[in-house]
Amino acid sequence: MAAPISFLSKLFGSKLFKFRRRKKAPEKDSGSRPRPVRSDKPLKLAEEQRPAKKEAPKPEPVDPYLLSLPVDHVIFELWRVCRDQGGWLPRPELSFKTAEPQVFDPKTSMAELTKLLMAVSSSAASRLSSMTPPAVPMPAAPAAGPEQGLTEGPQDQEPPPPPDLDAQATVFVSGDKLSAWLLIYPPSGKGEGVTKGIIMNALGAAGVAFGVDMDTVESIPSMEAPYFRMHLAARGKAAVPGKDGAIIDLYPRETHKELPVDDMNRVDFTAMGTTQNVEKGAAICHISPPTPGVAGRTVTDKELPTRDGVPAVAPMGRNTALNEDGTSLIATRDGGLEFSGRAFQVNPLLEIAGNVDYSSGNVNFLGDVHIAGDVCSGFTVRAMGNIKVDGVVESSTIEAGGDLVLAKGVQGNNQAVIRAHRDIFAKYLENCIVHAKENLHSECIISCEVYSDAGVYVQSGRGAIIGGRVWAGREVDANIVGSKTEVRTTVVLGGLPCESYEKELLSKEIEELEKRLEETERQPSSPTKLSRMSKMRMQISVNRLKLNQHQKSLDELQNGLEHRPAGRLTFRTAHPGTLIEIGPSQLKLDNETRHSIATLIDGEVKLIT
């Protein structure tokens, strides 16, 4: 007998569990469409199919005048108790914001909110404690007997009524004692609402006695929702310091030196003026007097002291004086106005209508000098102020304590010495020695020894430096350096050229004096010899003192130049024969070079094109 077929065999043999085998699709020829190849790489969606990026929510701006409190703060507990007892009340909102102008600036308000938080926490906790009725003790349950029925439980007892409390006004005085704020809590039970008397009593208890805003005090009781709000009740009077006296200049303290350039890129040095002329009695500047300070008062009626303004120091120098009421500085004579150090001074102006020659002699003047003609060979012009020469300077010496303007240039014949303690402006410089404590501006420099502690600018006109030696502390900027004949032209950068030259000059002078002294000592004794030797020894001593002073000044200035960047030479064309020196490094140009900058890079002079 055959074995019975089991239930599982019938089930697996049914049509429900018959699987059809997928037939393998026939391969298509190469001309057919290729099947897509699966890849493990993630699919790239088109830009329009990508889900939009959710921007991070921007943080809400913090209000510097609002005190933000959590809902579990004690003032919210007090608010809920008051609401349950008396009905609807606005949520607590503690803010120092008022109508413009604000009492506090944002930074001060943030600091005051920190102190307000402590005061509100204390006052709200105290008020909540006084409004919460004391707990009623639970009676002891009697012993249960067979004849005793169920007694009334403690849960059926009515809660005790709230205590009767009038509205409470809490006063917050700012840290600077210039404002007092009210925070009013509502009444409890059958207590009285806020009144003017309650507010005034609270202000008096806090010591607020000045600047009380009675309009605000009287309007609070009639407000619809005066509770749990900050009310500005009093404002003090801030102290106002006095204004210092001030100087109102009518003339600029620094004259703006402009080089007037025509269409041909030529400078008209005759049109350049470096002197501000002022007439006798003219006002140079006005002096505003100081104002007294106004004392302030706190809301607690205490005085806030302040300071009075400080009088301005009049910039009174030589040939200037104050007027009768001391409100203006005036010139006491005609001359050239100059601001030197901390004061205005009027330098007398010397006008020479012709040449400096035998008709005028040498010029040595304490003010400004204007020469309409030439400075002839062999003559000297020295001035404490500015010097302007409209004509040509020949083999002479010119030294200016201020600016020096040479409208038609210098033909020095290797004998002219040109010095200025500020800027030099010259049409051209030829065969001379030039010292400029500040900048030098010219159209052409030919075979000169130039020393400038700042910069040498030869840009207008032809703008050429040909031959000689130019030493500038900061920079040299020229159109052309050298010439096609390869004449030796040296440009030195860095250091303090004028100080170094004066030191070298004093050293040579001391050596010559010492040689002459030795020669004089070998001569036969005579009264003339003793007098001559005494004078030479005195001169040697003076020169040595000057040399020591120069060395000391040079060392001090050199220390300040250690961190100054190396100088540079900027040119449009530099011819062969040009030698560039920066410190111990040198660079000699053997070929014509155009539009470059020479400077010190890694200890070597290199060109940047």
Residues in Cβ contact with 448 at an 8 Å cutoff, skipping those fewer than 6 apart: 412, 429, 430, 431, 432, 433, 434, 468, 469, 470
**How many whole angstroms separate alpha carbon 594 and alpha carbon 431?**
26
pTM here is: 0.54
Judgement on whether residues 522 and 554 belong to the same structural domain of the protein: yes
| Position 6 in a domain | no
Residue 43 has pLDDT above 60, yes or no: no
Structure confidence at residue 85 (pLDDT): 82
Number of folded domains in the chain? 5
Structure confidence at residue 268 (pLDDT): 60
Judgement on whether residues 376 and 278 belong to the same structural domain of the protein: no
| Position 608 in a domain | yes
Across 322-326, 470-474, 518-522, 595-599, least confident range:
518-522
Structure confidence at residue 476 (pLDDT): 95
Higher-confidence residue of 373 and 342: namely 373
Q: What percent of the chain has pLDDT over 70?
A: 80
| Position 52 in a domain | no
**β-strand partners of 441:** 425, 457
Judgement on whether residues 309 and 284 belong to the same structural domain of the protein: yes
Judgement on whether residues 176 and 102 belong to the same structural domain of the protein: yes
Judgement on whether residues 113 and 196 belong to the same structural domain of the protein: yes
Judgement on whether residues 392 and 537 belong to the same structural domain of the protein: no
Judgement on whether residues 255 and 325 belong to the same structural domain of the protein: yes
How many other C-beta atoms are found inside a 10 Å radius of the C-beta of residue 534? 10
Question: Of 325, 346, 367, at which residue does a domain stop?
Answer: 346
505-524 pLDDT, tens digit each: 777 777 887 877 887 777 78
411-420 pLDDT, tens digit each: 999 999 999 9
Residue 221 has pLDDT above 70, yes or no: yes
| Position 198 in a domain | yes
| Position 73 in a domain | yes
224-234 pLDDT, tens digit each: 889 999 999 99
| Position 149 in a domain | no
Judgement on whether residues 94 and 187 belong to the same structural domain of the protein: yes
| Position 80 in a domain | yes
Judgement on whether residues 192 and 304 belong to the same structural domain of the protein: no
Could you tell me the CATH number of the domain that includes residue 444? 2.160.20
Range of the domain at 470: 439-495+561-609
Judgement on whether residues 279 and 299 belong to the same structural domain of the protein: yes
- For residue 141, the surrounding DSSP H or E stretch is none
64-119 pLDDT, tens digit each: 889 988 988 999 999 998 888 878 888 898 999 887 788 888 899 999 999 999 99
Q: What percent of the chain has pLDDT over 90?
A: 48
Question: Of 173, 200, 235, at which residue does a domain stop?
Answer: 235
Biggest CA-to-CA distance, the chain = 173
Q: 338 pLDDT band (50/70/90 cuts)?
A: confident
How many other C-beta atoms are found inside a 10 Å radius of the C-beta of residue 9? 10
Across 39-53, 241-255, 339-353, 548-562, least confident range:
39-53
Structure confidence at residue 51 (pLDDT): 62
Residue 252 has pLDDT above 50, yes or no: yes
Judgement on whether residues 266 and 332 belong to the same structural domain of the protein: yes
Judgement on whether residues 530 and 585 belong to the same structural domain of the protein: no
270-329 pLDDT, tens digit each: 555 556 778 889 999 999 999 999 999 999 999 999 999 999 999 999 889 999 888 999
